[in-house]
A and B are shown apart, each in its own frame.
Chain A
Amino acid sequence: MSVFLARRFLSFLITVSGASVIIFLLLEVLPGDPALTMLGVDAPDSAIEAIRLELGLDRPAFIRYVDWIAGLFRGEMGLSYVYKVPVTELIGQRLHVTLPLAIGAMVLATLVSLSLGIFAATNHNRIGDYGVMGFSQLGLAIPDFWFGILLIILFAVVLHWLPSGGFPGWDEGIWRGVRSLMLPVFTQALGLTAIMTRVTRSSVLEVAREDFVRTARAKGLSRRAALWRHVLRNALVPVLTIGGLLVATVVTGTLIIENVFALPGLGKLIFDAISNRDLMVVKNVVLLFAAIVVVVNFVVDILYALVDPRIRIQS
């Protein structure tokens, strides 16, 4: 298991380093002067020169890259060009919104889709199965932002149960914060739930046909007991895989959701940073997104090993 962990951790380091190089190349080295990008082609030469100096763009690319990475290890990400505050500070504030949103959506989607998927599988080819599949088809077909707007119309405009957008900050009380994140979480969870429900259902159905489930039944286990004790754990592996991949969708999805609901989160931050050409912010937040996705997949790998001893013991 420790060999397994070490190997996984190494591949995690390699992936994040690779991501940082790609981000750096795309934003700072490939044709297109970052200073020009930030100020626009019509900016006076003096202004462009000034910002070059300010950002250190006059130095060779390699030095700038090393500087950036070294800064990361010291916990520094430079100053936001627009807000004039450290990027770390900006990210810190915004995480207060985005983390609960993303985790909430993921947890909700997992709970609902596991229940629905298992329900559908145990009612295979019956009305309950068709119902769940129809729902998930709908969930796949509906665009997130549109569903978000529908929720706003229903729960905010018509019923006045929940705020239509914005975020008061956690200082204003947990409950108010939670209330303003509810609709965004539902919105984001919709697509995830639709996909994971399908995966759960087909995975459970597939495992239920395995020989060892027949063995379990031949021992005298009821259908239900065989499902809980022998099917589910095996069926979890594909669900974990897809769940891990979907985290990337959740991360990029915050761009849309936070815009629809006017939430001051990371997605909104990077959206605005791109519009304002705030290079420092874009660079670091994109790397953070990449790191989150890689960390999650690292965790998923560990979960795999916990679920399936064949993975654990091979390595």
Chain B
Amino acid sequence: MTLLSVRDLTVELQTSRGMAAAVRGVSFDLEKGGTLGIVGESGCGKSITALSLLGLLPDGARATGRVDLDGTDLLSLDEDDLCHVRGNRIAMIFQEPMTSLNPVHRIGRQIAEPLRLHRGLGGAGAREEVLRLLHRVGLPDPARRINAYPHQLSGGQRQRVMIAMALSCAPDILLADEPTTALDVTIQGQILDLINELVEDTGMGLILISHDLGVISESVDNVAVMYGGAIVEQGTTDRLFADLVHPYSQGLFAAVPRPGAVRGARLQTIAGTVPELADLPPACTFADRCAKASPVCWRETPAMTAFGPGHAAACHHHERRGDA
């Protein structure tokens, strides 16, 4: 059953050069309990996509399209109703555990906040629940740590606190925006395992944002590759990784150092850099960096085309891939 259905989501942001689209016609579905990875280079619109699901876009932003959660269009909700969704039905954790917690409040209080807000839980009941959550996310010695301030915890511990907070109201969907990027490599694995385990246990849906294909391939059933605000390729994790279709996905994957690669060998990267929002090509946003680009790529936005079962890409040239 489809829990979240995003259709033609377009988000325009205020930039120094006027309104510019950071998200362009993004569509995807998330089944109940399903897991989706969004992958792409920095600046491709992953975070803006996630924030638009919560209605937490920067001031002056304009979002159009539909974001249906159980049939309710979140984009049409007013602030009050959105507050009931945030932290309650959709919870989010962020990249920077160092700055994502309020430095002047004890962590127990910060975790209890959504409980009080959405469950009306206070006092001893809230404390008990916070302890349970801290225990659940594997924070050592919860009874003592509940009174700690964020600066007394390590990065990994803070991210566990963030996860406990997100978990507190048993949300339908967990949005994890690069939850491990800021952490030590050893801790990254632990946090990722914790998230996967929680998703499995609670049956909540997961949207995991990352620019790390390794992280994505291990954790989610479905993947969407984003470039320049648009999804350029999506499919089930197995099929997509088995057969990358879009030139951008191919470039992105080639840019990942693989185990066994000769140390010091040059990392293959995609030529050029991500242009500013306002400078993105009008039709296919990848046209200016794509080796296969032809005039049609500058004229017409490529439509999402099924390439096989559970696998689609938006590229004018993907059917010719075999010829090359």
Measured CB to CB, the residues of A under 8 A from B are 210-212, 214-223, 229-230, 233-234, 307-310, 313
Q: A216-B102, A220-B88, A230-B105 are in contact. List 15 more A-B contacts (CB 8 A).
A: A212-B99, A214-B94, A215-B101, A215-B165, A218-B94, A219-B86, A219-B87, A219-B113, A220-B84, A221-B83, A222-B79, A234-B102, A234-B103, A234-B104, A309-B103
How many Å lie between the Cα of A210 and that of B96 in the bound state? 11
How many Å lie between the Cα of A211 and that of B103 in the bound state? 11
18 sampled A-B residue pairs with Cβ under 8 A: A211-B99, A212-B99, A212-B101, A218-B54, A218-B86, A218-B91, A218-B94, A219-B91, A222-B79, A222-B80, A223-B79, A229-B113, A230-B105, A234-B102, A234-B103, A234-B104, A308-B103, A310-B103
Q: Say whether B92 contacts A308, CB under 8 Å.
A: no
**Interface membership of B117, Cβ < 8 A:** yes
How many Å lie between the Cα of A259 and that of B43 in the bound state? 61
**Interface membership of B283, Cβ < 8 A:** no
Q: Say whether B92 contacts A218, CB under 8 Å.
A: yes
Chain B residues, CB < 8 A from A307: 104
Please name the residue on chain B nearest to A217 by beta carbon.
B56
Q: Say whether A211 contacts B96, CB under 8 Å.
A: yes
Chain B residues, CB < 8 A from A234: 102-104
Chain A residues, CB < 8 A from B103: 212, 234, 308-310
**Interface membership of B118, Cβ < 8 A:** yes
How many Å lie between the Cα of A212 and that of B110 in the bound state? 10
With A210-B99, A215-B94 already in contact, the answer to whether A220 and B162 are too (CB < 8 A) is no
Q: Of B105, B117, B151, which contacts A219 at CB under 8 A?
A: B117
Q: Say whether B104 contacts A233, CB under 8 Å.
A: yes
Report the contact-size class of chain B (Cβ under 8 Å from the partner).
20 to 34
Chain A residues, CB < 8 A from B86: 217-220
How many Å lie between the Cα of A218 and that of B117 in the bound state? 12
Q: Which 7 pairs, one residue from A and one from B, show the smallest C-beta to C-beta distance?
A: A219-B87, A220-B87, A211-B99, A220-B86, A212-B102, A219-B114, A218-B92
**Interface membership of B253, Cβ < 8 A:** no
**Interface membership of B268, Cβ < 8 A:** no
**Interface membership of B149, Cβ < 8 A:** yes
**Interface membership of B100, Cβ < 8 A:** yes
Chain B residues, CB < 8 A from A308: 103-104
With A212-B103, A308-B104 already in contact, the answer to whether A220 and B117 are too (CB < 8 A) is yes
Shortest Cβ distance from A184 into chain B, in angstroms? 37
Chain B residues, CB < 8 A from A310: 103, 149, 151
Q: Say whether A215 contacts B162, CB under 8 Å.
A: yes
Please name the residue on chain A nearest to B115 by beta carbon.
A219
**Interface membership of B269, Cβ < 8 A:** no
Q: Say whether B118 contacts A220, CB under 8 Å.
A: yes
How many Å lie between the Cα of A233 and that of B102 in the bound state? 10
Shortest Cβ distance from A257 into chain B, in angstroms? 36
Chain A residues, CB < 8 A from B100: 211-212, 214-215
Chain B residues, CB < 8 A from A222: 79-80, 83
Q: Say whether A309 contacts B94, CB under 8 Å.
A: no
How many Å lie between the Cα of A215 and that of B86 in the bound state? 10
Chain B residues, CB < 8 A from A229: 113
Chain B residues, CB < 8 A from A220: 83-88, 114, 117-118
Chain B residues, CB < 8 A from A211: 94, 96, 99-100
How many Å lie between the Cα of A48 and that of B161 in the bound state? 76
**Interface membership of B202, Cβ < 8 A:** no
How many Å lie between the Cα of A278 and that of B149 in the bound state? 55
Shortest Cβ distance from A236 into chain B, in angstroms? 9
How many Å lie between the Cα of A142 and that of B317 in the bound state? 69
Shortest Cβ distance from A123 into chain B, in angstroms? 12
Please name the residue on chain A nearest to B56 by beta carbon.
A217
Cβ contacts B147-190/A at 8 Å (1 or 0 each): 00101100000000010010000000000000000000000000
Q: Chain A CB within 10 Å — which of B87, B102, B105 has the most?
A: B102
How many Å lie between the Cα of A218 and that of B166 in the bound state? 9
Cβ contacts B95-128/A at 8 Å (1 or 0 each): 0100111111100000001100110000000000
Q: Chain A CB within 10 Å — which of B88, B100, B165 has the most?
A: B100
How many Å lie between the Cα of A217 and that of B90 in the bound state? 12
Chain A residues, CB < 8 A from B114: 219-220
Cβ contacts B33-72/A at 8 Å (1 or 0 each): 0000000000000000000001010000000000000000
How many Å lie between the Cα of A310 and that of B152 in the bound state? 9
With A219-B117, A220-B86 already in contact, the answer to whether A230 and B56 are too (CB < 8 A) is no
Shortest Cβ distance from A226 into chain B, in angstroms? 10
Please name the residue on chain A nearest to B86 by beta carbon.
A220
Shortest Cβ distance from B86 into chain A, in angstroms? 4
Chain A residues, CB < 8 A from B117: 219-221
How many Å lie between the Cα of A222 and that of B81 in the bound state? 10
Shortest Cβ distance from A51 into chain B, in angstroms? 58
How many Å lie between the Cα of A310 and that of B113 in the bound state? 21
Shortest Cβ distance from B107 into chain A, in angstroms? 11
Chain B residues, CB < 8 A from A216: 102, 113
Please name the residue on chain B nearest to A209 by beta carbon.
B58
Q: Say whether B96 contacts A221, CB under 8 Å.
A: no
Chain A residues, CB < 8 A from B85: 220
Chain A residues, CB < 8 A from B162: 215
How many Å lie between the Cα of A313 and that of B153 in the bound state? 13
Chain A residues, CB < 8 A from B84: 220
How many Å lie between the Cα of A258 and that of B71 in the bound state? 70
Please name the residue on chain B nearest to A234 by beta carbon.
B104
Shortest Cβ distance from A15 into chain B, in angstroms? 28
Shortest Cβ distance from B36 into chain A, in angstroms? 18
Q: Chain B CB within 10 Å — which of A215, A223, A229 has the most?
A: A215
How many Å lie between the Cα of A179 and that of B100 in the bound state? 50
Chain B residues, CB < 8 A from A215: 94, 100-102, 162, 165
Shortest Cβ distance from B269 into chain A, in angstroms? 29
